[in-house]
Structure 1
């Protein structure tokens, strides 16, 4: 009889519905391949920092943080978040920039204003900076980092002038009486025609090519299990969704879990290269070394 030895990998991803939906089967041993995650739930700003310090084996991070960790970590070709119509939003109070609540929204009114963002290394913030270089000629004011669930209350209460939001905030910002000033995804897609790269899955290169390929296969199988048996993950998703309405959780999953989650493919890699190359050209990120995104043991760019 053959005995499969189990390797436990220290892993961090968010408690958001897309991540818990995607990773449920792997986290609960429903994908038997000898690799199991020891899971820590953490906000994206925390996971970006963990990756930069090299503290865990497998992490969900912002694509904007990827160039800083590629010496130690490899980008996995599955499990992450890319898509269309799912970009971050810039939110303000109604009538922003004027005492008149009917004042039409104008991105130029952000000049010199305080803006809350979920992380200075987040993809949302990178997309925002690329957009603001064109749309806010006067330049932004102070940038304040807040956990994403605190941003909308801060805008509503006037503690900041505007907020950059991600995740389910696309579906709930009206409840806070807020207005969408600009959609970073729409701006990105109009400029490039590419899907929006948001969150990446990375793993230690020191695991070796064979283990990395096994890990990618396990995550891909976990995605496929989630699609085939969505009710299996329901309790896990809702238990970690921070009191999110189940209907909003379903919208969240439908928006962020798609064909790119199962496999980045040529279009997904083109989107990632497009974002990171544009940011490097603007001096916002370091340049990628040739082949830095290639998955070990796979053809280049696949």
Structure 2
């Protein structure tokens, strides 16, 4: 069975048991490590493996061929992307018609940013520049862009670049909707046994929680020079009960995000019922 997910600590923590043959009855797993901006397009172009971690924002492009697996992903509270600037104390209006770096134009972070900007940035932002997520903070620091949209462990490290937070988009989303933030989704080809796959993933999540130190070497081997404390914070933030079971609150969050995005033309129109079947 082939799967693609990111080398980020939350993914390696969640899938450690499945990848290492610890989940009873699960087949041997062939892993490709790839950032979510790549898997989003692999799924849309039918180029990737049968199971992938993608952004919830990319689901409208892929649901004809893939089904959402209601576990294993990243969805929660207090874990949203941040809008950063070089200068502290700026107002949202200060980035009107300015250049903003984003990690992808097909991500939850990007959708949240555009929905927030529609409400809070008079006249809208200017140029959107897509950069690898690890290049965004240096670009803001060096003045190459006026603001940057950051994800992942940047929540814990942006102060080391001397940057200031203009907006926590997760905080805005939760206040605006009362719902958690849908970030990364697990999808599988529709020909697969999705119920069985979900059971394997949930078993892997349960093992990770029961044996938190078992995956430490695997997690840190793929943590891209991240410190152990940052990796642990990353896991604590992104791996939660929604990882084990999306549930009604989770589905409602995804439906709200993608419904709003479709209304704004940020994603293609699609039948929201396909998220559940």
TM class by shorter chain equals over 0.9
Q: Give the structure-2-normalised TM-score.
A: 0.97
Figure out how many residues of one structure are paired with residues of the other and give that number.
276
Task: Identify the residue that residue 87 of structure 2 maps to in structure 1.
Answer: 94
Residues in 1 aligned to 2:204 and 2:45: alpha-carbon distance in whole angstroms: 27
Task: Identify the residue that residue 242 of structure 2 maps to in structure 1.
Answer: 260
Residues in 2 aligned to 1:36 and 1:122: alpha-carbon distance in whole angstroms: 30
User: Following superposition of structure 1 onto structure 2, how do residues 1-302 of structure 1 map, counting pairs within 5 Å?
Assistant: 9-55=1-47, 56-95=49-88, 104-207=89-192, 211-295=193-277
Residues in 2 aligned to 1:34 and 1:25: alpha-carbon distance in whole angstroms: 10
**Residue 84 of structure 2 contacts residue 147 of structure 2 at CA under 8 Å; is this kept in 1?**
yes
> How many angstroms does 1:286 deviate by?
2.3
Q: Which segments of 5 or more consecutive residues in structure 2 lack a partner in the other structure? A: none
RMSD: 1.1
Residues in 2 aligned to 1:171 and 1:142: alpha-carbon distance in whole angstroms: 26
> How many angstroms does 1:157 deviate by?
1.1
Deviation string, structure 1 residues 22-45 (Cα, Å, up to 9, x no partner)? 011001111022333211111111
Residues in 2 aligned to 1:33 and 1:50: alpha-carbon distance in whole angstroms: 28
Q: Give the structure-1-normalised TM-score.
A: 0.89
Residues in 2 aligned to 1:147 and 1:230: alpha-carbon distance in whole angstroms: 30
Residues in 2 aligned to 1:42 and 1:90: alpha-carbon distance in whole angstroms: 24
**Residue 18 of structure 2 contacts residue 26 of structure 2 at CA under 8 Å; is this kept in 1?**
no
**Residue 43 of structure 1 contacts residue 147 of structure 1 at CA under 8 Å; is this kept in 2?**
no
Query: After the TM superposition, which segments of 4 or more aligned residues of structure 1 sit over 4 Å from their partners?
Result: none
Higher gyration radius (CA): 1
Residues in 1 aligned to 2:255 and 2:11: alpha-carbon distance in whole angstroms: 23
Residues in 1 aligned to 2:11 and 2:173: alpha-carbon distance in whole angstroms: 23
Which stretch shifts more, 27-36 or 121-130? Answer: 27-36
Residues in 2 aligned to 1:93 and 1:164: alpha-carbon distance in whole angstroms: 12
Residues in 2 aligned to 1:262 and 1:36: alpha-carbon distance in whole angstroms: 21
SS in 2 for 1:35: coil
Residues in 1 aligned to 2:151 and 2:246: alpha-carbon distance in whole angstroms: 21
Deviation string, structure 1 residues 192-242 (Cα, Å, up to 9, x no partner)? 0000001100000022xxx22111111110000000001110001001000
